Amino acid sequence: MRIILALLVFVILFTITLSTNVFAQTSYVVKIPTGAAHEGAPYFWQSVKDGSTSGIVEILVGDTIVWSNADTAFHTVTSGSEAEGYDGLFDSKEFGPGNSFEYKFSEIGHYPYYCTLHPWMVGTIIVTSGYSIIPNVGKQAGDGITYFNVEYDFNRLLSTVTIDEEQKSIIFEIIGDAKSENHDLELRLPSGLVDGPFVIWVDGKKISNFENIREGELNVLFVPLDADSKILTIVGTSIVPEFGPMTLGILGVAVVSMIVMSQRFKLQI
CA dist., res. 163 & res. 253, Å (int) = 30
CA dist., res. 16 & res. 6, Å (int) = 15
Pair 73, 124 in one domain: yes
Q: Number of structural domains, the chain?
A: 2
Walk along the chain (269 residues) and give the pLDDT tens digit of each residue: 555 544 444 434 433 333 333 334 689 999 999 999 999 999 999 998 888 899 999 898 889 999 999 999 999 999 999 999 999 999 999 999 999 999 999 998 899 999 999 999 999 999 887 788 888 898 877 677 888 889 998 999 998 789 999 999 999 999 988 888 999 999 999 999 999 999 999 999 999 999 999 999 999 999 999 999 999 999 999 988 754 444 445 445 555 555 655 565 555 55
Pair 18, 35 in one domain: yes
Pair 58, 107 in one domain: yes
CA dist., res. 163 & res. 235, Å (int) = 10
CA dist., res. 7 & res. 5, Å (int) = 5
Pair 123, 210 in one domain: no
> CB of 190 within 8 A of CB of 217?
yes
Residue 260 lies in a domain: no
Range of the domain at 45: 2-128
Sign of the CA dihedral with 177 first, then 179, 180, and 183 last: negative
> CB of 234 within 8 A of CB of 220?
no
Pair 224, 208 in one domain: yes
